[in-house]
Structure 1
């Protein structure tokens, strides 16, 4: 019976997508510092559209921008999501799938679960961190070791002063580390507890002085539909003081802040944030923004500054205090990965931020499914985005070869990209 309901929901959803497209072309992407954001149109039936996961075969790879080339640094992984480079040059990747969302209560829940399963976005999670070593320096990791296992949906990683930190979905745990080791079996020391599930990723970034960790914690729901109490301690970035052991909310109102990076000239913390669903293909856009200590960025009450979401019981004081983000990245691009790219790292690219756009599942015309670059000058975005890797998505949008997530600078100065559908770590260099 549930399968029949799911088919009905899928058919209705497909009809709604056609209706939303009828009589109009695709909306112009809401991108940049002053985007044109279409008027919100609340959807009674949410858009549900996602390509079938296909993977990469027969030497097929993403397309690198002119002047760049791409090769597989490591293949045959299991849903690699995030990356970290150890001081000795070993590359770590956190392999995990999302936390089980619980009981399927409605036909739409079933349709969404079935769609996500077809797109390789749900399933049994590996819950491990794998170490990759390119000992001969040829750009391909010939050694592979299980660095840690039995974790609780690991994601963020950091290394400071002989201690390795892991962001599990339920908190941050510290482990002793010896340089060159290929496996950690020691019992961890818990530093902070977070509510699991919902937006389950827990990214980690060490402060520039090595005294603090910043941790991204996403919301449980889309717009606090389970109540505000369920969202306490969520939709924010935490600051963990490693000397005192105390933690606090550094900034809030960030629906799902994932990638974290510092801009080196100002020292400002930046993040990429996934915005809310159900208001249109480009409304509101995901965004890249600097993060102010004590700042509030709108969720769930409003978006892009003081644009009120009237589906939510309002708090006028918080709306008035909401900070407008710095740079729009387009609607529902699922911008997750973030790292600083110094000028000259890739030929022809100035200073700026690299962003892994995982790709949409909730708009009538798919978006994202690529790795982009946003140039910076004087500590701020300074121009339109440029593509680095594209063609993770088939032209007809029916299937995806891969979906980029985490990005980082490799030990040899290359750009590394985790692809959780292709089960590959890609390596980008000059051609």
Structure 2
């Protein structure tokens, strides 16, 4: 039994974790500030609460197929009347805007305008709100007719970007932009006309720029769960492929998938930046260290508590395991005996998340001096990650916003529940968080695509002028 965890009680340590003992352990952990480790870190939605902290390690993982692989897609219901998510004491939460259609990624322009990708209808929407306002004053469609837009980025970085970049299902386009534009001045220019050799399965694409502005980085999820249909080749062919691309980069129908790709800002000099990331949904660049980060959905089919999802720094040239290995040199049994040469090259991710939680959007918090909703100073530099929830777990998890406390940009392997409460019961949910961004007044904005809402989380000391967020 871990000494840090011992104070939670012998019941949680010695009895297989179940609803009652897990609830006891988690409520004690939230109250004491201790961290749930080992099997106590694996639980379900009933025991989520702001302040609950977890640390999963590779040593905690069960063997493949230790439990049956579940098919447990939730039913989406309307929010209960007056329902609000739960946030830590000292914070406020309220709907910022309702009635959106499939709002997913959200990014804030340097002038404070809020850009939202409505993926299914193919739109980029702009919301404008004064600092401290709890509702937007303007609500406009910036661009229409896009093919499943998701990622949004502004370039060049700084107070006056000239372009808005949008990652669609298989291209990157950009719109000419002057600060304050509420409508695109013209049609998009195609920067990358084909991101990957195939389309389908994981379809979200994010786009970010390196801190020095020299690289455009694009995340591309895999085209299958574990590279089904990727043809076998002999060792000579594989060695030549690795030399042309990156050791561990997939081929065939998975070419340029399960990767982060890098380009010049104009779309030239394409190459694989990092490989083996099954579905890196969202990218973020730490504003102080310049490190690239990724929120990744790992593979399905190996059981309730395998494989952990993760949030990690992404190193240039690194390989993260997919499809042959997971969380270090743990071999996927569906690829037994293949690519043994990669075992020692496989990078272990920084922060493991409960399996099948589906981390999507993420942002790094920057304290806004004098901001109407600025969080306490200890949040400065921390990461906030939206967990969308997944289908491949019998005991539902995810459906919340979590916080990663960083120290000089370095994670300690723990994460903490920050906004919870979207699960109604074992079968139904009323919210599925996707994107998260920081508004200019220091509030966090969290999209959820289940009922088309953006939630605003501020600090309780803020002044909150009235406004109307309902779409016309």
State the TM bucket, normalised to the shorter chain: 0.7 to 0.9
- Residue 362 (str. 1) matches residue 362 (str. 2): no
Distance 1:182 1:80 in 2: 18
Residue 414 of structure 2 aligns to a residue whose secondary structure is coil
Could you give the per-residue CA deviations for residues 202-259 of structure 1, whole angstroms, max 9, x where no partner exists? Answer: 1111221223221110001100113251111100111121267222110000000012
- 2:30 match: none
- Contact 1:333/1:359 (CA < 8 Å) preserved in 2? yes
Residue 215 of structure 1 aligns to a residue whose secondary structure is strand
- 2:33 match: none
Deviation at 1:398, TM superposition (A): 1.9
Alignment of 1:313-392 (within 5 A): 314-342=338-366, 345-347=374-376, 349=379, 351-382=381-412, 384-392=414-422
- 1:108 match: none
Distance 2:347 2:296 in 1: 13
Distance 2:367 2:355 in 1: 28
Distance 1:259 1:146 in 2: 23
- 1:115 match: none
* Greater Cα offset, 173-182 or 313-322: 313-322
Distance 2:56 2:408 in 1: 15
- Contact 2:386/2:435 (CA < 8 Å) preserved in 1? yes
Residue 208 of structure 1 aligns to a residue whose secondary structure is coil
- Contact 2:388/2:433 (CA < 8 Å) preserved in 1? yes
- 1:41 match: 65
* Greater Cα offset, 406-415 or 314-323: 314-323
Alignment of 1:128-207 (within 5 A): 128-135=123-130, 137-160=132-155, 161-184=161-184, 186-192=186-192, 193-195=194-196, 196-207=199-210
Deviation at 1:261, TM superposition (A): 1.7
- Contact 2:69/2:304 (CA < 8 Å) preserved in 1? no
Could you give the per-residue CA deviations for residues 71-106 of structure 1, whole angstroms, max 9, x where no partner exists? Answer: 11111000100101122211111012xxxxxxxxxx
Alignment of 1:2-41 (within 5 A): 25=18, 28-29=40-41, 32=55, 34-35=57-58, 36-41=60-65
Residue 342 of structure 2 aligns to a residue whose secondary structure is helix
- Residue 418 (str. 1) matches residue 435 (str. 2): no
2:97 aligns with one of 58, 63, 74: 74
Change (3 A) 1:189 1:150: same
* Greater Cα offset, 71-80 or 26-35: 26-35
* Gap regions ≥5 residues in structure 1: 1-22, 97-124
Deviation at 1:58, TM superposition (A): 3.0
Pairs aligned (count): 379
Deviation at 1:311, TM superposition (A): 0.4
Distance 2:137 2:79 in 1: 20
Distance 2:306 2:171 in 1: 32
- 1:106 match: none
- 1:9 match: none
TM-score by length of 1: 0.83
Aligned-residue RMSD, C-alpha:
2.1
Could you give the per-residue CA deviations for residues 162-214 of structure 1, whole angstroms, max 9, x where no partner exists? Answer: 11100001111111112222111522222222232221001111221223221
- Residue 211 (str. 1) matches residue 214 (str. 2): yes
- Contact 2:350/2:413 (CA < 8 Å) preserved in 1? no
Could you give the per-residue CA deviations for residues 84-131 of structure 1, whole angstroms, max 9, x where no partner exists? Answer: 1122211111012xxxxxxxxxxxxxxxxxxxxxxxxxxxx2111111
Alignment of 1:287-306 (within 5 A): 287-306=310-329
Distance 1:221 1:211 in 2: 31
Deviation at 1:271, TM superposition (A): 0.9
Change (3 A) 1:24 1:211: closer
1:399 aligns with one of 422, 428, 438: 428
Residue 311 of structure 1 aligns to a residue whose secondary structure is helix
Deviation at 1:317, TM superposition (A): 1.6
TM-score by length of 2: 0.76
* Gap regions ≥5 residues in structure 2: 1-15, 20-38, 43-53, 156-160, 231-250, 369-373, 461-472
* Greater Cα offset, 310-319 or 292-301: 310-319
Distance 1:281 1:430 in 2: 36
